[in-house]
Amino acid sequence: MSEAAVSWQPPELPVSDGRSFPVRHAWCVGRNYADHAREMGVDPERSAPVFFSKPAQALVHAETVMYPPDTAELHHEVELVVLLASGGRNLTPEQAAAAVFGYAAGVDLTRRDVQTRAKQAGQPWEMSKGFDQAGPVGLIVPARDWQPEAETAIALSVDGQRRQAGWLGQMIWPVAELLAQLSRTVTLAAGDAVFTGTPAGVSALAPGERVCARVEGLPELDFEIVAS
């Protein structure tokens, strides 16, 4: 009996210049904005970066995002997403900055009820972050055309009502330092997407609601939550 061939292609995200960005892996950081750390009950002055990951297939660029099954509390977290053209291990901040391909607005969707139950039981909570369409990402802008600044605004609205707002200077670990920290734990590589944390104001979403994520100077990410 012959074995079936395995055919697989990495998910691709669109770039503003017409190219596509093939995603190898998605890395995320929690508690990288002090106000969000506080709303999650953590002292940001004593908090080191908390890294976790999503599968590459969780990242999508779509007009509709399906509400995940077996979920009673789906939360939005607007984030600056950094896409890498190269990588390495134990990078300096300067080397990490040079590895960046581009930037996009993104939303880290979280099954908060699933995460809470897993934490209380001392179990892994990856299924609260790594479900289908858990990482909507906007149009990517190459690093040559846009760079994050401390005063760059970041925000998210639902059905036109502001829920989250802040600026990138509120990050505890700025982009280059964050990438350098992550490279001490894992080997970064071309095709990696890094979600850099969210400001305060995370809250629940429901089917039928429209989400608009904004990072000043980048294309808006706009999608509707639809029933599964």
Tell me the whole-structure pTM to 2 decimals. 0.93
Reported confidence tier of residue 123, pLDDT bands at 50, 70, 90: very high
Q: Give yes or no for residue 156 having a pLDDT over 70.
A: yes
Task: Specify the pairing of strand 192-195 against strand 25-30.
Answer: parallel
**What share of the chain in percent tops pLDDT 70?**
94
Which residues make Cβ contacts (< 8 Å) with residue 127, sequence separation at least 6?
111, 114, 118
Mean local confidence (pLDDT), 164-179: 95
Query: pLDDT tens digits, residue range 12-40?
Result: 999 999 999 999 999 999 889 877 556 65
> Please, where are the H alpha helices in the chain?
34-39, 93-98, 112-120, 175-182
Q: Which H helix or E strand runs over 53?
A: strand 50-54
Q: How many CB atoms lie within 10 A of CB 99?
A: 23
Which residues make Cβ contacts (< 8 Å) with residue 134, sequence separation at least 6?
54, 58, 68, 108, 109, 110
Closest of 55, 58, 38, 56 to residue 47, by C-alpha: 38
Quote the pLDDT of residue 45. 63
Architecture of domain 14-226: Alpha-Beta Complex (3.90)
Q: Where are the domains of the chain?
A: 14-226
Query: pLDDT tens digits, residue range 96-112?
Result: 999 999 999 999 999 99
Quote the pLDDT of residue 73. 97
Reported confidence tier of residue 87, pLDDT bands at 50, 70, 90: very high
